[in-house]
Every structure is written in structure tokens, then in C-alpha cells.
Structure 1
Amino acid sequence: MGRNKLQRFKENEENRNVIQAGKPTFETIKGNWNKVQFENDQPIVVELACGRGEFTVGLAREYPAQNFIGVDIKGSRIWKGSTIAIQEGLQNVAFLRTQIQQLSDFFSVEEISELWITFPDPFPRDGDEKRRLTSPKFLEMYKPLLKSSGVIHFKTDNTGLFDYTLELLQSRNDIEILAHTHDFYQSEYKDDHHGIQTRYEKIFSDKGEKIKYLKFKFV
């Protein structure tokens, strides 16, 4: 393991805005994000597979009256967003280092106001469907964690994953699709995101890939 990675792991252990195994809050944060981490009653917005946290931090800059949590298992990635948030004095940002499959261990029923799924692994093989973050298995996990008015945003460059997700959502009677487009940057929704891009989104966009977007809620 490189020296830089070891240093980042050490800083993650020290940074208050990183919640990970070994810290007291890791075992007790469920249901207590507002009280323990943010010390306010602002709505909680969660980004799954946040990577380096560009999107989480970007949203936090734009919406200081909301709290933002990036979730990822890669500590060296989380370190980047955590460090930027600290340098900029953003108190409404935190990062949770865990597998997304364990999300229910860290959030209580109706604790989340919005959920972002940004450029996840598409797992294109049919046998890997259960691993997709928009599969029925994951949707059932998200459902109780969201407030009754809560929404889910989904962005991807992968047409196969997008079409799979759109078809799945349309087949369910407990989901209302609020917006969808196969070309986000030519749509009416692009200004709502304030030009914030993840690292992967920028790579895909620079290659000419069209970004797809979905917004939906449970009913």
C-alpha cells in the first residue's frame, strides 16, 4: 500500500466528517445523523457510490440548508471529498464508509429526504441484475428509509442500465416517475443541477456520451 493511501486513511480516522468502522459513531449513527453529526434538523440527502465526493460537496455548496452524506466503501476516494469539505468549512457534509448493501444499518425509517444514485456500475450481465443499484432488491431497501415525500435521482451514461431501470419503474404500481430523459444536457432539467458533475460524468460527457436522468418517488 502506498504512503499516500496510508496517509489518507490516517486522516479519515481523524476527520470528524468521515463515519467509518472503528469510530464510536459508526455503531450509533443510525437515526441520529441530525442530532449527532450535523447538530441541526435540516433534511438529509444521500449520494450512493459517491466516489471522490464531487457531487456530494457540490450540492452542499449550493444548498446550505440541507445536509449531505456521500456513501462509498473506498476510503481513499472519500478522503478527497472529506478534505475539500473541511478546507471550505462546509458543516453540512459527511461521508459514510460502508457497503451500500448495508445502508439500512446506518439510516432509520424515513430518515432520508432525497437519494442520489450517480453513475453506478451497470453490471450488464443478466446474472448480475441483483447487484444493480436500481434493481428490485435495492429499491425495496431504499423505500422505508425515504420520507413519504422523498425522491430518488438517478444519473448514468449507460443506456442499457437506464432502459432497464425505466422499464422496471414503469412496471411497478408503487412508483411515480417524476422526470426522465435520455439526453440530460439537452433537457429542461439540467439547470436544476447547477453544472455539478462527478469525475465519471465529466469523462463520459467529454467522450460525447449522452447522460441519462430519472427522478421518481414511491407512492
Structure 2
Amino acid sequence: MRLRHKPWAKDELASFPHIIVQEPNLHKGKWQELFDNNNPIYIEVGTGKGKFLTGMAEKNPNINFIGIEKYDSVLLTALERVKNVELPNLKFLNEDVMELLHFFEVNEISRVFINFTDPWPKNRHEKRRLTYKDYLSLYETILHSEGEIHLKTDNQGLFEYSLESFSRFGLTIKNVSLDLHKSGFEGNIMTEYEEKFSKKGMRIYRCEACFKKEK
């Protein structure tokens, strides 16, 4: 997908620091202080235009949400979606997912969402997939002992790869759905891509995975 460059995007994002957190490294280990509560923190990696996380924040006021998106022109759409809405439990970072350890302390996060990420289907691009072992290592570090990864995708190849990657890394996999919208799953919040693909009759794949960490 070709992204349209928006030269004003960074300045616009910086003008809403209560939504788009500037210098997130300064909040490492102290995110609950920023949210001013002790509620669990869920993050979405590659949050895109923010529809999913906005919906989650609206429905779950007792959970703190942080969306991470490295493309400022994409995150600008998420900002437009929420800048006039009162959602104190929602923040965004204009950062690269590979830098997670610079922003979050060990065991600081309760859940990681990976929704409709780029499948990077070519073998030589395996290391770019957000379910590749290097990324799993990052998630393992920041998730606490009962933390989980929730994955949704329309891409069967990526889903099968992710299940294998989770298994090789020693994660426990549960609640696997090969056709989410026909599974009876309750409380699903759709992303932009999910709406688009489901209208075309495409299957949505979903699973949950957790690390076998000592409490």
C-alpha cells in the first residue's frame, strides 16, 4: 500500500500531546502515572487509523490503551477520530514497534493486540512480520505473567505462520477461530480492514496466545 505523504502530519500530531505522547521513553515504567490510575494497559502494535483501539477504549473505560503506529500520515487519521472525543484512557505513540523496550518496562503491559498486520508473504521478509520470533521476544519482556497476545488477520498464510511461530516460541495458544464472524465470539471490535474484508465475505482468523512465564 502506497502511503500519501502529508508534510504537516508531524506538527499536527505534536500539537495534541495529551493524545499523541511525545518522548514516550520518559514514561517507561510510569504509564499508570500518566493515565492517573492503576488500570491494566493494553497496547496495539501497528494501530493504523485507530478504529479498533478507539472502540475498545470507549467500551472499556477501566482499561488503558496505547496504540503504536510509525507512519505519521496514518496516525493522523487516528488523531482526527479522537481529538474531539473525551477518552482519557487512550494514547498513541508515533513510534516503531521495534523500539518497544525503550517505552515500556518489564511486565508493564497486560495485552498486545496485533490486527491485520502486513503479512510480508515473501520468505526473505519473514523478519518483518509482527509475529516473528524477534517481536515475540519484545512482547514477552513487556508482558506480565498473565499477559496475552490477541491476533486477528484475513491472511490465512500469516495466520498459519503465526500459530507455528507462537508454538515454536513456547506460547500456549487458545480460542482459535478460523472464521471469526461465524464463531459466536462476543465483544468483537472491527478494524477498518476487517469491515472491508468481511463485507467481501472473506474469513477472519483470530487466536490468543500467552507466554508460560513464572508469576
TM-score > 0.5 by shorter chain: yes
Cα deviation, residue 81, structure 1? 2.2
Q: Partners in 1 of 2:90 and 2:198 — Cα distance? A: 26
User: Structure 1, residues 30-49: CA drift from partner, whole Å, max 9, x if none?
Assistant: 1121113x111111010111
Greater fraction helix = 1
Of 192, 195, 207, the match for 1:214: 207
Residue type of the partner of 1:35?
Answer: E
Give yes or no for contact 1:122–1:132 (8 Å, CA) kept in 2.
yes
Q: Secondary structure at the match of 2:117?
A: coil
User: Structure 1, residues 83-122: CA drift from partner, whole Å, max 9, x if none?
Assistant: 3323121111000111111111111101111110000010
Q: Partners in 2 of 1:6 and 1:124 — Cα distance? A: 30
Report the equivalent of 2:137. Answer: 140
User: Structure 1, residues 107-154: CA drift from partner, whole Å, max 9, x if none?
Assistant: 110111111000001011111111110111111111010011111100
Q: Partners in 2 of 1:7 and 1:126 — Cα distance? A: 36
Report the equivalent of 2:15. Answer: 14
Report the equivalent of 1:124. Answer: 121
User: Structure 1, residues 161-180: CA drift from partner, whole Å, max 9, x if none?
Assistant: 101111232344x3111211
Percent of residue pairs identical: 35
Q: Partners in 1 of 2:165 and 2:24 — Cα distance? A: 34
Residue type of the partner of 2:192?
Answer: R
Q: Partners in 1 of 2:28 and 2:101 — Cα distance? A: 8
Matched, 1:70 2:87: no
Q: Partners in 1 of 2:154 and 2:74 — Cα distance? A: 21
Report the equivalent of 2:104. Answer: 107
TM-score between both structures, scaled by the size of structure 2: 0.90
Unaligned segments of structure 2, at least 5 residues: none
Unaligned segments of structure 1, at least 5 residues: none
Give yes or no for contact 1:46–1:69 (8 Å, CA) kept in 2.
yes
Q: Partners in 2 of 1:41 and 1:78 — Cα distance? A: 26
Q: Secondary structure at the match of 1:70?
A: strand
Give yes or no for contact 1:85–1:91 (8 Å, CA) kept in 2.
no
Alignment of 1:63-212 (within 5 A): 63-172=60-169, 174-189=170-185, 191-193=186-188, 196-212=189-205
Give yes or no for contact 1:70–1:95 (8 Å, CA) kept in 2.
yes
Q: Secondary structure at the match of 1:169?
A: helix
Q: Partners in 1 of 2:194 and 2:25 — Cα distance? A: 33
Q: Which runs of 4+ in 1 moved over 2 A?
A: 4-11, 79-86, 167-172
Give yes or no for contact 1:117–1:153 (8 Å, CA) kept in 2.
yes
Q: Partners in 1 of 2:71 and 2:164 — Cα distance? A: 31
Q: Partners in 1 of 2:167 and 2:28 — Cα distance? A: 32
Cα deviation, residue 7, structure 1? 4.5
* Number of residue pairs matched by the alignment: 207
